[in-house]
Amino acid sequence: MTDPDGRPPVRPMMRRDRASAALGMVVEQDLPGDAIVSMPIRPDMTNGFGLTHGGLVFTLADTAFAIACNEDERVTVAAGADIAFLKPTTAGQVLTAHAVRRFRRGRTGIYDITVTDETGEVVAEVRGRSFATDRPQTG
């Protein structure tokens, strides 16, 4: 099911995510274990060198990771993540994070997230580790 723009319907988790909304993130794909999120880079998202702030690149990847790893009725959170910054970007560009489940068993999972720019060049690679809590997701 998609909304009128052809995008997936927004889950309650993302409707409550004020940080991602404030950063202009758009959920492009929301499937179990597979999510795509995009974010336009504004001038206020750059560091003192005029480059996209690394923390915001990670935040984009983390949002895609959160969507991908919340696959069932349990709230699933990040247990850890590692990022490799591979290419700088600047204001005016659009970054896209694609998170994919690599492994999930019991309460733990491993997800790989690739962040690309609007040309498809890889900007960052992230490996996220998830932990499923006993807390149920609510609508």
Residue 39 lies in a domain: yes
Mean pLDDT of 43-67: 98
Q: If you average pLDDT over every residue of the chain, what do you get?
A: 93
Q: Answer positive or negative: Cα dihedral of 1, 136, 113, 115.
A: positive
- Residue 137 DSSP label: P
Residue 6 lies in a domain: no
pLDDT tier for residue 12 given thresholds of 50, 70 and 90:
confident
Q: Which of 40-44, 58-62, 66-70 has the lowest mean pLDDT?
A: 66-70
Sheet order of strands, 122-136 included: 26-31, 34-40, 94-105, 108-116, 122-136, 74-85
Domain of residue 85 covers 12-136
Contact call for residues 89 and 96 (beta carbons, < 8 A)? no
Mean pLDDT of 59-87: 94
Residue 118 lies in a domain: yes
Q: Which of 35-44, 52-61, 88-97, 130-139 has the lowest mean pLDDT?
A: 130-139
What does the pLDDT read at residue 3? Answer: 61
Based on the structure, what is the number of domains in the chain? 1
CATH code for position 128: 3.10.129.10
More confident residue, 65 or 2: 65
Residue 70 lies in a domain: yes
Please say if the pLDDT value at position 29 is more than 80.
yes
What does the pLDDT read at residue 35? Answer: 96
Mean pLDDT of 69-94: 94
pLDDT tier for residue 66 given thresholds of 50, 70 and 90:
very high
What does the pLDDT read at residue 139? Answer: 65
Residue 20 lies in a domain: yes
